[in-house]
Amino acid sequence: MKKLIVILLCTISLQFSCTGQNNIEEQIKSAVLAAPAAVRDGAHVYGFNEKGEMITLREGTNNFVVRADDPTKEGFEVVSYPKDVEPFMARGRELRAEGKNRGEVLQMREEEMMNGSLQKPNYGSTLAIYYGENAKYNPETNELEGGQFRYVIYTPLATAESTGLPISPNGKGHPWVMFPGLYRAHIMVTPAEGN
């Protein structure tokens, strides 16, 4: 039984190392797909090492940050955002590393933005998420097969009244305000159903 477990673990380890997740070049190439084409070459790139830890793969020379797909999570997801969003993101990573759950992370960041100890994203800063539950990155074509975009436009303290948008999705791919009236308020733009 022990031999079977060792063989199984070795097989899983080999499969993981062959997926391209540990290949820095492929992580960079796939991560920048979330960013506008004009800024990809200079974006700061976060990725993951063999232990699954998030690390800097490439220092940036412009205002954009991208993150490679997390190999420990289901599906495929790469993200892009301007540098003013990084303190918000970094604080979330820090709190999750401390074992905080999603609700605690949201609450703590909200309180810290309210008291001024955490920089909030600028109004209109946009997080682009290029993702797909069954999407696959093809290193030969440098494309995400089966991927689609979702956007988060940060609008601290925005409400339905201030934006003219609903506060819940209508299922047709229209924008809506999530967390209205809070510092973490943002406009969500998701693909239409079936896209």
Question: In the chain, what is the straight-line distance between the N-terminal and C-terminal CA atoms, in Å?
Answer: 46
Helix (H, G, I), strand (E, B) or coil at 167: coil
Q: What is the DSSP string of 22-86?
A: T-HHHHHHHHGGGS-GGGGGG-EEEEE-TTS-EEEEE--SSSEEEE---TTSSSEEEEEEEGGGH
Residue 172 binned pLDDT confidence (cut-offs 50, 70, 90): confident
Across 44-58, average pLDDT: 94
Question: Which residue in this structure is represented by tokens 């790469």?
Answer: 78
Distance between CA atoms of residues 188 and 125, nearest Å: 12
Query: What pLDDT score was predicted for residue 190?
Result: 85
39 pLDDT higher than 60: yes
Tell me which residue of 65, 57, 56, 51 sits closest to 121, measured CA to CA. Answer: 65
Q: Write the pLDDT tens digit of every residue in 128-168.
A: 999 999 999 999 999 999 999 999 999 999 999 999 999 99
Query: What pLDDT score was predicted for residue 117?
Result: 97
Mean residue pLDDT across the chain: 88
CA quadruple 187, 64, 54, 143: dihedral sign: positive
The domain spans of the chain are: 2-119
Give pTM, 2 decimals: 0.83
- Measured CA to CA in angstroms, residue 122 lies from 38, 50, 62, 160, 171 at distances of 21, 34, 17, 19, 27
Query: What pLDDT score was predicted for residue 11?
Result: 38
Q: Write the pLDDT tens digit of every residue in 21-30.
A: 448 999 999 9
19 pLDDT higher than 70: no
